[in-house]
Amino acid sequence: MNLASIFLQVKEITLSTGSFIREERKKFNTDKIEYKGLNNLVSYVDKTAEEMIVKALIQILPEAGFITEEETINKNGERYNWIVDPLDGTTNFIHGIPTYSISIALHEYDQPILGVVYEINLDELFYTWRGEKAYLNGTPIQVSTNKTLGESLLATGFPYYDFEKAEQYINVFKELMQQTHGLRRIGSAAVDLAYVACGRFDGYFEFNLNAYDVAAGAYLVQQAGGTIHNFSGGDEYINSREIVAGNGHIGNEILKITQKYF
């Protein structure tokens, strides 16, 4: 498999879909919002973007299956599976807040081999594949070198539909906001992880996530020299619905706190 060649095709698919999303935002209005659940928003833009991506990816690897947010296709691949979020940050998109992204990962036997995150408004393409470095628009990236929480800036997300563990989460917030330069909530997990990969954030933690939220971004972090765990310190993050990302130092410091409350 020539992953470099596959990446170039995925790049074109991503940029083309990003252009579609960018243009639709100019004429979007709130009458076009749908609700999948409590505070779980979607629009025709998400669905159409996913259909565009899926149709194009099928041409690259016809035998591959898909895990997608909008479930526009139901196909499980024995060896290869694409994991796609066509518009990560839908709530931002709907409200006109300019941070949302496309996230595409390719797994082989449940192991990541390619990851792409495209932040649409800044035209920033983060990408990597097996055997390569992680890149931002052609420039190699790496996680930060900060070693203590006291010099770190972290990213997170807030619960918006499942509040069962809200109290534990608030306790984690409280400790980290007192020990760091601050916490940021951008609204796109894929972008949060991409920013960890390029050193803008020193670490990131969140729960109630899905595979399509984190698959590409987590692989970027790993390929950029960082670490990925669940809240208990285990390696399973795709299906655990929780994630801690960072460089080795900061990731471990965050884990010490999440392990106290989860």
Q: Is 213 marked within a binding site? A: yes
Report the pLDDT averaged over residues 66-91: 94
CA distance 56 to 122: 24
Given a cut of 50, whether residue 141 has pLDDT beyond it is yes
Q: Are residues 131 and 111 in the same domain?
A: yes
Span 188-199, average pLDDT? 98
Residue carrying structure tokens 């016809």: 62
Same domain, 62 and 106: yes
245 contacts 204 by C-beta, under 8 angstroms: yes
88 known ligand binder: yes
Question: 133: how many CB neighbours lie within 10 A of its CB?
Answer: 14
Res. 70: pLDDT tops 80: yes
Asked if 40 and 60 sit in the same domain, the reply is yes
CB 154 within 8 A of CB 142: no
Confidence band of 230 (pLDDT split at 50, 70, 90): very high
What's the confidence (pLDDT) of residue 183? 97
Q: Could you say which of 141, 163, 185 is where a domain stops? A: 141
**Measured distance CA(209)–CA(216) in Å, rounded:** 13
- Say if residue 37 is in the same domain as residue 158: no
Contact in structure between 141 and 126 (CB atoms under 8 Å): yes
Band of pLDDT at residue 20, cut at 50, 70 and 90 = very high
Q: State which residues form the domain around 238.
A: 149-261
Over the chain, what is the mean pLDDT? 93
Q: What is the Cα–Cα distance from 193 to 147, expressed in whole angstroms? A: 18
User: Three-state DSSP class for 157?
Assistant: coil
Residues 6 or more apart from 61 whose CB is under 8 A from it?
6, 80, 82, 106
Identify which of 227, 241, 152 has the alpha carbon closest to the alpha carbon of residue 197: 227
Report whether pLDDT(39) > 50: no
Element (H, E) at 156: strand 154-156
Host H or E run for residue 206? strand 203-207
What does the alpha-carbon distance between residue 215 and residue 193 come to, in Å, rounded to a whole number? 10
Q: Give the pLDDT of residue 178.
A: 96
State the CATH number of the domain containing residue 132: 3.30.540.10
**Are 133 and 162 contained in the same domain?**
no
Q: CA 123 from chain center: how many Å?
A: 16
Identify whether residues 121 and 212 lie together within a single domain. no
Strand order in the sheet with 203-207: 183-184, 154-156, 203-207, 242-246, 227-229
Mean pLDDT of 234-247: 94
Same-domain check for residues 121 and 154: no
Same-domain status, 8 and 118: yes
Same domain assignment for residues 13 and 70:
yes
User: What CATH number should be reported for the domain holding residue 211?
Assistant: 3.40.190.80
- Residue 253 annotated as lining a ligand binding site: no
Q: Residue 259, SS3? A: helix
The pair of three-digit structure tokens given for residue 108, joined into one six-digit string: 């082989």
Transcribe 52-91 into DSSP letters: HHHHHHHHH-TT-EEEESS-------SSEEEEEEEEETHH
Alpha helices in 27-164 (DSSP H): 44-60, 90-95
- What is residue 33's predicted lDDT score, i.e. its pLDDT? 74
CB 213 within 8 A of CB 191: no
Q: Do 105 and 209 sit in the same domain of this protein?
A: no
Are both 63 and 154 inside the same structural domain? no
The pLDDT of residue 252 is: 97
Residues 113 and 160 in one domain: no
Domain boundary among 141, 162, 185: 141
Q: In the predicted model, what is the mean pLDDT of residues 35-50?
A: 76
- At residue 158, the pLDDT reads 83
110 is in an annotated binding site: no
* More confident site: 118 or 39: 118
| Number of folded domains that form the chain | 2
Query: Strand pairing partners for 42?
Result: 34
87 is in an annotated binding site: yes
147-175: pLDDT as tens digits: 999 999 999 998 766 678 889 989 999 99
Confidence at 77, pLDDT banded by 50, 70, 90 = very high
